[in-house]
Amino acid sequence: METPPLSASPGSEQIALAARTIRVLTVDAVREAGIGHIGLPLGCAELATVLYSEFLRHDPQAPDWPDRDRFVLSAGHGSMLLYSLLHLSGYGISAGDIERFRKLGSITPGHPEVGETPGVETTTGPLGQGVGNGVGMALAERILAARFGSDLVNHRTWVLASDGDMMEGTASESVSLAGHLGLGKLVVLYDDNGVTIDGPASLSFSEDVPARFEAYGWDVQRVDGHDPQSVRAGLDRALQSEDRPHLIACRTQIGRGAPCAGTAKAHGDGGMSDDATHAAVREALDWDLPPFQVPDGARQVFRAGAERGAQARKEWQVRLDRALEDPGTRALWQAMSGGQLPADLGGLLPDFRGADPVATRVASNRCLNALAPALPTLVGGSADLSGSNGTRLEGEAWIERGKFEGRNLHYGVREHGMAAIANGLALHGLRPFVGTFLVFSDYMRPSVRLAALMRQPVAFVFTHDSIFVGEDGPTHQPVEQIAALRAIPGLYVWRPGDARETAVAWVAVLERSDGPTALALTRQALPVLEGDGIEDGAARGGYVLVPERDAGNPELVLVGSGSEVSLAREAATALNAEGRSVRAVSLPCQQLFLEQDGAYRDSVLAGAPRLVIEAGVENGVSALLRPGDRFHGMRGFGASANYRDLAVHFGFTTERVLEIAREML
């Protein structure tokens, strides 16, 4: 089979053959699936081949090697490019897996998913997210290198991004911070093809992207994405300096080699569902092998790069073994790479019993600072609100350009980028926490959702959790945000009712390794709950705080979370004193409570009518309500006033709860 190049100056025939192989695998897989995106894989075949075969430091036999380079396909719709590269490089993706592209149960889903496919570093698809994740990975590399030195941590993060990525705000926020910090081991390859789904990018996009990145403080180049020599020169230049991140704008033709090349049609299947069109593309590529069969020459292009990576890993392992002979280095390495936790996290926390009233955001800060010395993987900050959110680690330095030894990070007013970067930090093995006001969780929601989808242990610290923000008014008073967060599968939402429950929440955050957690914390001080069993009960997501007068036979159950727990406690106590039999229940983490066995849930909520109290919308507690139960919360937005006045105005007082309870009784 002849292998004529598609480009006027394609480099070696081997590179041309590998690029054609990627194109054919793509059109065959999309043809078999009946759906898919051919544009990016066909348009980026040469540049991806050069990257994977000559520059990317990786070992397909050890996909999780800690000091490997990371490759992030931010434009996840072009997933067949990545699957082809992994298949040809020798990762555990077979021809059969390629043939099952987008099929139920396959390891080649429509968009790459971390944990599903070897060699996939993050879940991408929502544009801009991969760019943010890549910034987080590059930042993690610098943080770890500052602790262990370049002998053990010395790798790059490569991101392939599209026009759509460049339009998304999360990418802009993330690359702005990357430029500010000078993350010189981050390289973004910009697939500059000038076409989006609706048509030419010029319909809505006319800015000079390289000039924008120059303004962000990046090193910028322009190359011909179809010319291996041009791509090679650009990648080589990116290796020569590490004082700032690198953007390589690669001019490409979307769908190159297909009849729809250069048009918006290439954003779909490019007509591959039509037998004649599919056959015409294969003929144009001079391809006569059966579907999903690969010439050995194409594999050889990637084999050499994989062998270099394997040798680099072996040499790194020797250096690691030598370094771990030092007990201090060994202990730190095990703590930071193995996710090890102290045996008794709870024993490290402050004892809040008997303390004066304290805001849960303040209690959270005390917990975080008590835990940090024993947890070197903890790294965090906030979106310009570290004091308000309580997310500063006392005694730890701030991360700055050229100074990555610290553990505190100024994200600036970049909520969306902050969350995407945090996901990248977690994917690299750190335990990030990030903070902002709860109302701004809406800005972060796509990244929070992806943290849950990827099962990454990110701690989202959301303070100012209700209308009791007060004078700032309804623009800053969250009423629907708790409900929205609880709707995300796999995200645990904690709204602790006092400092003791806050301490339990932080233990739960850190003991959880398979998903993210959101903490919703108060601005105002809350009384510290009294009694035994609070810690054990809170650890199960919910418990009986005040037992009914007639044990085992409640007439009514008052259920609260956060600041409303004290209302439930006071009302139940008053009603029991009047001779009624009323129980108060605290539910600091509804999802965790609902995961308990049925017997435990029934023992807490009983069968009596329920009055659920929460300073938010009813959607957030709908899982708890049955016919005949009542909800006391917000039906609209808040107002600007002192939080005590707001409590009276909206009925979040013991007196109002007693009125409703007596109506139900």
pLDDT band with cut points at 50, 70 and 90 for residue 637: very high
Do 243 and 149 fall within a single domain? Answer: yes
Using the structure block, give the residue that is written with the tokens 């599903």: 116
Amino acid, res. 117: T
Do 466 and 561 share a domain, yes or no? no
pTM as predicted = 0.96
| CATH code, domain carrying 628 | 3.40.50.920
CB count, 10 Å around CB of 424? 30
**Alpha carbon of residue 634 to chain centroid:** 30
Q: Which of 212, 302, 198 lies closest to 249 in space, CA to CA?
A: 212
Report if residue 401 sits inside a domain: yes
Quickly list DSSP for 415-455. Answer: HHHHHHHHHHHHHTT-EEEEEEEGGGHHHHHHHHHHHHHTT
Distance CA 390, CA 129 (A): 26
307 and 394, same domain (yes or no): no
Same domain as 36, residue 133: yes
Given a contact cutoff of 8 angstroms between Cβ atoms, the answer to whether 211 and 222 are in contact is no
Has residue 432 been placed in a domain? yes
Residue 382's domain is classified under what CATH number? 3.40.50.970
User: Strands 246-251 and 219-224, how do they pair?
Assistant: parallel
535: CB partners within 8 A, 6+ apart:
346, 500, 503, 504
Q: 296, 372, 361: which is closest to 562 by C-alpha?
A: 361
- Give which of 243, 151, 133, 131 is closest to 191, Cα–Cα: 131
Residue 436 near residue 409 (C-beta atoms within 8 A): no
| Strand 610-613, strand 556-560: pairing | parallel
How does pLDDT run across 251-271, given as a tens digit for each residue? 999 999 999 999 999 999 899
What is the Cα–Cα distance from 62 to 108, expressed in whole angstroms?
19
The count of residues in the chain is: 665
Both 219 and 354 in one domain: the answer is no
pLDDT of residue 456: 97
Containing structural domain, residue 366: 345-526
Domain-located, residue 634: yes
Task: Summarize pLDDT for 319-337 with one digit per residue, the tens.
Answer: 999 999 999 999 999 888 8
Positions marked catalytic: 415
Shared domain for 58 and 192, answered yes or no, is yes
| Domain-embedded: residue 6 | no
Residues 172 and 258 placed together within one structural domain of the fold: yes
138 and 268 inside one domain: yes
Question: Is 327 domain-assigned?
Answer: no
Same domain assignment for residues 248 and 355? no
Q: Does residue 338 form part of some domain?
A: no
Q: Is residue 644 part of a domain?
A: yes
pLDDT tens, position by position, 199-254: 999 999 999 999 999 999 999 999 999 999 999 999 999 999 999 999 999 999 99
CA distance 504 to 496: 9
Q: Which of 289, 312, 335 is the last residue of a domain?
A: 312
Q: DSSP 3-state assignment of 333?
A: helix
Q: What is the dihedral of CA 496, 498, 503, 504, to 10 degrees?
A: -50
Query: What angle do helix axes 415-427 and 441-453 make, rounded to 10 degrees?
Result: 20
- The tens digit of pLDDT for each residue in 388-423 reads 999 999 999 999 999 999 999 999 999 999 999 999
How far is it, in rounded angstroms, from Cα 161 to Cα 212? 15
pLDDT over 90 percentage in the chain: 95
| Angstrom distance (rounded) from CA 433 to CA 602 | 34
Q: What is the pLDDT of residues 9-30, one digit of tens each?
A: 334 889 999 999 999 999 999 9
Residues 581 and 499 in one domain: no
* Number of domains composing the chain: 3
**Which residue from 544, 82, 22 is spatially nearest to 285, judged by alpha carbons?**
22
Task: Using pLDDT thresholds of 50, 70 and 90, give the confidence band for residue 342.
Answer: confident
199 within domain boundaries: yes
Q: Are residues 406 and 499 in the same domain?
A: yes
Position 339 scores a pLDDT of 74
Are 442 and 352 in the same domain? yes
- Name the CA radius of gyration of the chain, rounded: 28
